[in-house]
Amino acid sequence: MEERIIIAGFGGQGVMAIGQMLTYAGMIEGRKVSWLPSYGPEMRGGTANCNVIISDKPVGSPLVEEATSVIILNKPSLDKFEGNVVKGGNLFINTSLIDRKSTRDDINVYYIPANDIATELGNPKVTNMVMLGAYLEVTKVVSLESIYEAYGKVFGESKLHLLPINKEAMERGAKLVREQIKVNA
């Protein structure tokens, strides 16, 4: 098993947090992992993306060019990374900020209004967790229990009181994807 993931959006959207949580969860489960962050030159609001690999075998390079899954939080990132999804791979699009559909018909595409769901939950900062929940529902690359444990490692003890709303956000993303899969079945 090897999952190669690109996560991309604007700085401040929690792109790196998703990547770190997936990486820690992979380590918790005894997998080989890598996490490679990349930031645009802007101080705030610039581009941000990371490459994550979770594998049963040693990771040769942390760079992901052919992704099995891509999680996109903004339109410039969709334009840049849509072509990096391998045939049969998964593309997760935040439709709250992206007004176009995927141009690909050889991949699985999931449309998630992540910002809207996070706002409904009362905390716009959990947008990334909505996307993470959708991603985990489809790939099941790591368990939710490992993700919850990784949450504490990424955000620290002082943020553990926010874990319940983050769990709820992940469940909402997962539920939306389950509905989309059922409709397309």
Res 43: pLDDT? 57
Res 44: pLDDT? 63
pLDDT along the chain (185 residues), means of 10: 96 93 98 93 75 96 96 96 98 97 96 97 96 98 97 93 96 95 78
Res 45: pLDDT? 64
- The continuous run of DSSP H or E covering 115 comes out as helix 114-120
Q: By C-alpha distance, which of 131, 132, 118, 96 is closest to 165?
A: 118
- As given in the structure block, the two tokens for residue 137 are 């529902």
Res 128: pLDDT? 97
Res 41: pLDDT? 67
Res 11: pLDDT? 85
CATH superfamily, domain 2-184, is Pyruvate-ferredoxin oxidoreductase, PFOR, domain III (3.40.920.10)
Q: How far apart are CA 171 and CA 167, in angstroms?
A: 6
